[in-house]
Amino acid sequence: MTAFAFRVDAVDGASRTGAIATPHGIVRTPAFMPVGTQGAMKGIHWRDVKASGADIVLGNTYHLMLRPGAELIAKLGGLHKFLNWPHPILTDSGGFQVMSLAELRKVGDDGVTFRSHLDGAIVSLTPERAVEIQDLLGSDIAMQLDECIRLPQERREQERAMRLSLAWAERCKRAFEAAVWHSPGRALFGIVQGGDDRELRTVSARALVDIGFAGYAIGGLAVGEPQHVMLDVIETVAPLLPADRPRYLMGVGAPDDLLEAVARGMDMFDCVLPTRNGRHGLAYTRFGPINLRNARYATDARPLDPESRCPGARDYARAYLHHLVKANEMLGAMLLSEVNLYYYQDLMAGIRAAIAAGKFAEFCAVTREGWARGDVEITPASRDSTTRQSPPRPP
């Protein structure tokens, strides 16, 4: 079985492209991981997730431990077999979900006790149990249990959560190394915390490097802070992390955020935006986001993008997509979620190619120019024909 490994193939400034080897396949980096929270990609078949270009997906420890249960999944052959996804999987630790259940949980030195949102049962999640659950699931990459807090926050609270997360990181590492049941080749990542405080982030990053992990994540972002705060944290932390280990920015996924984070040396990303916004009628395209709820598309016969790899973007008129969205038809959510997953994977493929060619800055400029130009205005001719002059594609 292939052991976990990471290599960097090319660099362009701080941005880099390479590959992560896992027991279930290769992950090309920079990589965007679609989020299959409860063991499913909402509205998207797994074969379409793979066809979009995704090498790896994310599963949620919190939700899977509650339903159907990690022990049951293990008994049925593990998460890869359970999902019929024979490719790499990363599982988060559940820390973010525990944060979102602030009124239903109690955090202590030993771990977190919370009340299940499903049936009210009292559940305990310790660092050791978080590792055990992810071992039972059999994910290729497991995450340490951490405490994620919302921003802004008092420094004292940021430091408390950061130091607790460090203590849990040490316990997760010991549990992971001592586990006799985990498959060879799997990896455990540590998570840098510290809110928006540079000093706390520095302390966390250095301590995690001393503990030693196969990869490192920056957590506690995309929780309400403005973009400049997120970028400041990345600029502080990324240079402190080993260059020979993957760097994962958790929960971040607006297209411009991806460009900015890659420019600062990040390798992995996940976010629910492509599917969540697709379910609400928003399509991501090289012309920028297109809100199909807008009445201007009611008679627009053009496809979203005739040059896209995605059948949903090529083969359906905007008027039809508008109709599906307004009628709350399930097919509309499915098609737009597919469109968005393809767009995100094409964006990442473009990023990787541009870095390899030493043209990442040029790629970013052309991509942003396309977003800024926006979609062409609807004309009488466009209502009767799907042909139009397309803006130039990013390199």
In tens, the pLDDT along 293-323 reads: 999 999 999 999 999 999 999 999 999 999 9
Q: Is 389 among the domain residues?
A: no
Q: Domain boundary at 270, 305, 320, which?
A: 270
Structural domain containing residue 244: 5-270
Same domain, 15 and 141: yes
Q: Domain boundary at 270, 295, 328, which?
A: 270
Same domain, 323 and 183: no
Same domain, 137 and 227: yes
Same domain, 188 and 329: no
Same domain, 232 and 284: no
Q: Is 390 among the domain residues?
A: no
**Contact between 138 and 78 (Cβ < 8 Å):** yes
Same domain, 132 and 100: yes
Q: What is the pLDDT of residues 163-220, one digit of tens each?
A: 999 999 999 999 999 985 566 799 999 999 999 999 999 999 999 999 999 999 999 9
Same domain, 94 and 123: yes
Q: What is the pLDDT of residues 65-105, one digit of tens each?
A: 999 999 999 999 999 999 999 999 999 988 777 666 656 77
Question: Rounded CA gap, 186 and 176, in Å?
Answer: 10
Q: What percent of the chain has pLDDT over 70?
A: 92
Same domain, 281 and 320: yes
Size of the chain, expressed as the number of residues it contains? 395
Same domain, 234 and 285: no
**pLDDT at residue 395 in the model:** 40
Q: Domain boundary at 270, 300, 317, which?
A: 270
Instruction: Estimate the share of the chain in helix, then strand, then coil, as percent rounded to the nearest 5.
Output: 45, 20, 35
Is the confidence at residue 391, as pLDDT, over 50? no
Q: With 0-12 CB in 10 A as exposed, 13-18 as middle and 19+ as buried, what is 333?
A: buried
Same domain, 232 and 283: no
Q: Is 194 among the domain residues?
A: yes
Q: Is 138 left (phi over 0), alpha (psi -120 to 50) or beta?
A: left
Q: Which CATH number fits the domain that encloses residue 126?
A: 3.20.20.105
* This prediction's pTM: 0.94
- Domain count of the fold of the chain: 2
Catalytic residues: 92, 270
